Amino acid sequence: MTTAHITPPPSPSVGASAAGEIFYPHKHLLGIEGLYPHELTGLLDLADTYVEQNRRTNKKKSLLKGLTMINLFFENSTRTRTSFELAAKRLGADVINMQADSSSVKKGETLLDTAITLNAMHPDILVVRHADSGAVKLLSEKVSGAVINAGDGQHEHPTQALLDALTIRRRKGRIDGLRVAICGDILHSRVARSNIHLLNTMGARVRLVAPPTLLPNSIDHLGCEVFHDMREGLKDCDIVMMLRLQLERMESSYLPSVREYFHFYGLDYDKLSVAKPDALIMHPGPMNRGVEIDSLVADDINRSAIQEQVEMGVAVRMACLDALTRATRNAEADQ
């Protein structure tokens, strides 16, 4: 397990970001795996500044004025797409939303053909969601603008992990040393993978709690402790991160029934009682109430950070857009 302690750079203000400090040297944001702690910290520090900006009456900046962002979603999503759209608009970018139907056409042709077509329109940022792992990376090789992975198959969802980290850091003051339980359908979850990488990199201790049928092969090699019993897994945890369970998993024989799943893995006050008294409850949404989480717990304003995660999402995406366009903006400013 990675427990690197690298001193983060001083927190840049929004003004400093406009001045063009480069702390994130990559062209794209395709995943959390492989990023350094100081790069993640830099993004989180920058996001912190945007949280404050978003709480003001005047939320809008002109940092990305003249830049174009395309939201290219091959999979349905309202929350993530809206969050990115809002983030871009608050920074003054022009935003186009494209919902590509990935089921009625030959998917691969659409992906690369669309990439090439869109590239000809010179977008500065492409935000891409796709049902296949690796598809966003493939696309990123064909375009000249910055690409942000908004979720690819069962691989990664980096901005979700960043917004989760920001939520945790603001509530707990740190990530290092915290005990975090990620519970539910780990097998199919890109959110879980990105969070495992991020939390490990930032020094948290990650536990996974799921039935064996919903755990991928060798997941413990990623630096996690695996539990099949919720009570054992949640014991003394600082953070309880629930995952959405897709109901078709019942038909695919991953699980016998919703009733049985909720009984053993649904988060309720009884199971939560073994976690730390101030344990924070998180969920990437949308929630299946009564399946993976009890409504009372989900709506407990003292324990649940679910709404705060949504708020942090916009700030984190603003930070990512800011960081990824700095090189471009600096180059233009130099001309």
Q: Would you tell me which residues interact with another protein (CB under 8 A)?
A: 33, 107-109, 111-112, 130, 132-135, 137-138, 152-156, 190, 193, 216-219, 221-222
Based on CB atoms, which residue is closest to another protein, 109 or 251? Answer: 109
Based on CB atoms, which residue is closest to another protein, 135 or 183? Answer: 135
Based on CB atoms, which residue is closest to another protein, 53 or 133? Answer: 133
Which residues on neighbouring strands pair with residue 250, listed in sequence order? none
Q: Which of 69, 48, 51 is nearest to 325 (CA)?
A: 69
Q: For tokens 């350094």, name the residue.
A: 36
**Does the annotation place 303 within a ligand binding site?**
no
Q: What's the min distance (Å) between Cβ of 285 and another protein?
A: 20
Helical residues (DSSP H) of the chain, grouped into ranges: 14-19, 37-54, 79-90, 107-119, 135-140, 158-172, 190-201, 230-234, 248-251, 258-265, 269-272, 295-298, 306-334
Based on CB atoms, which residue is closest to another protein, 197 or 326? Answer: 197
**Does the annotation place 309 within a ligand binding site?**
no
CB of 227 closer than 8 Å to CB of 180: no
**Does the annotation place 263 within a ligand binding site?**
no
**Does the annotation place 326 within a ligand binding site?**
no
What is the rounded CA–CA span in Å between residue 98 and residue 246? Answer: 25
CB of 208 closer than 8 Å to CB of 226: yes
**Does the annotation place 107 within a ligand binding site?**
yes
Q: What's the min distance (Å) between Cβ of 218 and another protein?
A: 4
Token couple for 211? 């039935």
Q: What's the min distance (Å) between Cβ of 136 and another protein?
A: 9
Q: What's the min distance (Å) between Cβ of 135 and another protein?
A: 4
**Does the annotation place 26 within a ligand binding site?**
no
**Does the annotation place 213 within a ligand binding site?**
no
**Does the annotation place 207 within a ligand binding site?**
no
Q: What's the min distance (Å) between Cβ of 206 and another protein?
A: 14
Based on CB atoms, which residue is closest to another protein, 190 or 283? Answer: 190
What is the rounded CA–CA span in Å between residue 217 and residue 25? Answer: 32
CB of 242 closer than 8 Å to CB of 283: yes
What is the rounded CA–CA span in Å between residue 196 and residue 214? Answer: 16
**Does the annotation place 285 within a ligand binding site?**
yes
Other residues' Cβ atoms within 10 Å of the Cβ of residue 57: 4
Based on CB atoms, which residue is closest to another protein, 138 or 274? Answer: 138
Q: What's the min distance (Å) between Cβ of 33 and another protein?
A: 7
Please, what's the b/e burial string for 126-144 (b: 16 or more CB within 10 A of its CB; e: otherwise)?
bbbbbebeebbbebbeebe
Q: Which of 241, 243, 303 is nearest to 277 (CA)?
A: 303
Q: What's the min distance (Å) between Cβ of 184 and another protein?
A: 16
Based on CB atoms, which residue is closest to another protein, 59 or 107? Answer: 107
* Residue numbers belonging to the annotated binding site: 79-80, 107, 129, 157, 160, 190, 244, 285-286
* Residue numbers belonging to the annotated binding site for carbamoyl phosphate: 79-80, 129, 157, 160, 285-286
* Residue numbers belonging to the annotated binding site for L-aspartate: 107, 190, 244
